[in-house]
Amino acid sequence: MAGENFPRTAHILALIGGILVVIEGLLYLAVGALIGSIGGGFGIAGGFVAALGAIALIVGIIILYGSIQLRSRPASAKTWGIILIVLALASYIGGGGFFLGLILTLIGGILAYVWVAPAAPMGTAGQWSQPQPGTWGQPTMPGGGPGAAPLAGGGQRFCTSCGSPVPAGAMNCPKCGAPVTA
Separation between Cα atoms, residue 118 and residue 90, nearest integer Å: 31
| 139-174 pLDDT per residue, tens | 544 444 444 444 444 567 788 777 788 888 888 888
Separation between Cα atoms, residue 135 and residue 67, nearest integer Å: 45
Query: What amino acid occupies position 126?
Result: G
DSSP state of 179: B
| 58-88 pLDDT per residue, tens | 999 999 999 999 999 999 999 999 999 999 9
Separation between Cα atoms, residue 136 and residue 140, nearest integer Å: 10
Closest residue by Cα to residue 58 from 26, 83, 35, 14: 26
pLDDT band, very low/low/confident/very high, at 1 (cuts 50, 70, 90):
very low
Separation between Cα atoms, residue 106 and residue 104, nearest integer Å: 5
Separation between Cα atoms, residue 84 and residue 73, nearest integer Å: 15
Separation between Cα atoms, residue 139 and residue 160, nearest integer Å: 15
Integer-rounded Cα radius of gyration of the chain = 29
Between 47 and 147, whose confidence is greater?
47
SS3 for 73? Answer: coil
The alpha helices in the chain, defined as continuous H runs, are: 8-38, 42-72, 77-90, 100-114
| 86-114 pLDDT per residue, tens | 999 999 988 899 999 999 999 999 999 99
Pairing of strands 165-166, 157-158: antiparallel
Query: What amino acid occupies position 147?
Result: G
Separation between Cα atoms, residue 6 and residue 112, nearest integer Å: 9
Separation between Cα atoms, residue 39 and residue 11, nearest integer Å: 43
Ranked by mean pLDDT, which of 1-10, 36-45, 101-110, 170-179 comes out on top?
A: 101-110
